[in-house]
Amino acid sequence: MSVARLPAEHDDRESKKAKKIASPMLGFSDEDKVRTIQPYDDALVVTLRIGGYDVRRVLVDQGSAVEVMYPNLYKGLNLKPEDLTAYDSPLVSFEGKTVTPKGQIRLLIQTGSDMVEVDFIVVEAYSPYTAIVVRPWLHALGAVSSTLHQKVKYPLEGQVKEIMGD
């Protein structure tokens, strides 16, 4: 009996497919709602390690495209105007007012052993949050979030890690 051998490039494609299949599946189930009291409509607010500090009251917002930093975090990280780069596009606040950013700064957000660089737009405006993280951070982390389950899940070293809402 003879055995046919596939070309080497086919073997490579198969092993790459196998690796993709082996990555953990990200999703949510009813078990993920254990810590929540249903029904509710709370925003997803978490604690993240930003610029080397644990930062509370960070809003995870899938509907926005730019990460935002508010005055309390800016001051808490001892940032100065010279730490910022120019950012000229105005933003619209939650109240519908136009806000002119003070500038932009790139900082690391650490989740577990994973580090993601994020460009924060620094604004001088009131917010109950210290910062807002959005799609660029979620996508860079490979994360999915759920306000219903009050969690962010992301793959790390073949496992699914979680960030719980506060």
Q: Does residue 35 fall inside a structural domain? A: no
Q: Could you tell me if 58 and 45 are in contact, meaning their C-beta atoms sit under 8 angstroms apart?
A: yes
Gap between the Cα atoms of 127 and 108, Å rounded: 22
Q: In a structure prediction context, what are the per-residue pLDDT tens digits for the chain, which is 166 residues long?
A: 343 444 454 444 444 444 444 567 787 777 777 776 766 778 899 999 999 999 999 999 988 889 999 999 999 999 999 999 999 888 887 778 888 899 999 999 998 788 899 999 999 888 899 999 999 999 999 898 988 888 898 988 888 888 888 8
Q: Does residue 78 fall inside a structural domain? A: yes
Q: Does residue 14 fall inside a structural domain? A: no
pLDDT for the residue numbered 121: 94
SS3 4: coil
Q: Could you tell me if 145 and 44 are in contact, meaning their C-beta atoms sit under 8 angstroms apart?
A: yes
Q: CATH number of the domain that 65 lies in?
A: 2.40.70.10
Q: Does residue 23 fall inside a structural domain? A: no
Name the domain count of the chain. 1
Q: Does residue 131 fall inside a structural domain? A: yes
Q: Does residue 77 fall inside a structural domain? A: yes
Sign of CA dihedral 21, 27, 30, 33: positive
Alpha-helical runs (H) found in the chain: 8-22, 71-76, 135-141
Q: Which domain holds residue 114?
A: 43-164
Q: Does residue 128 fall inside a structural domain? A: yes
Reported pTM = 0.78
Q: Does residue 15 fall inside a structural domain? A: no
